[in-house]
Amino acid sequence: MSSPVYVANCIFCRIAHRKAPSTSVYETKYSYAFLDISPLSEGHTVRSDKSRAHAEFLHELSDEYLADLLPVAKKIAVGTKAEHYNILQNNGKEAHQIPKPNQEEGLGIKWPAKEVSPDQLAPIAQRIIEEIEKNSEGSSEKI
């Protein structure tokens, strides 16, 4: 599966290719982190894959970018000095890091949990395992 490197009407592609303005906070070979222009709280940061620009979904991102993502998140956590924060992967290509200074600011999350039994979970797990095995030849190591 391969994605186009640059999509002109995608704001994240334009930012990653420096064709749209942004306020940078951190950058690596693979990642570009910048402040969200409509922040949920102070220090709300967006990270973009600059090595392989456009991807709509997490599974289209390069392994190199994904391996870079959490170390960059750690740097940003230190930089914002946020005591609490959320990390959000929207399935577009950007990952958000949002300080949670109090109940009113930051990311709001609904968690509508359902009651299920192990018997209901087993076939779901089996479908997921089969799909992973079908699609994982040559990628990440498995234990």
Q: How far apart are CA 100 and CA 106, in angstroms?
A: 5
**Residue placing its CB nearer to Zn ion in the complex, 13 or 69:** 13
Counting residues that bind Zn ion (by CB under 5 A) gives 5
> Binding to Zn ion by residue 15, rule CB under 5 A?
no
> Binding to Zn ion by residue 7, rule CB under 5 A?
yes
Location of structure tokens 């087993």? 122
> Binding to Zn ion by residue 65, rule CB under 5 A?
no
> Binding to Zn ion by residue 30, rule CB under 5 A?
no
Site string for Zn ion, 70-109 (x = CB under 5 A): ----------------------------------------
**Residue placing its CB nearer to Zn ion in the complex, 9 or 38:** 9
> Binding to Zn ion by residue 11, rule CB under 5 A?
no
Q: Name the helix (H) or strand (E) containing 67.
A: helix 63-80
Closest CA to 87 of 104, 71, 99, 75: 99
Q: Coil, helix or strand for 113?
A: coil
> Binding to Zn ion by residue 54, rule CB under 5 A?
yes
Please write down the HEC assignment for all residues of 39-62: CCCCCCEEEEECCCCCCCCHHHCC
Binding site for Zn ion (CB under 5 A): 7, 10, 12-13, 54
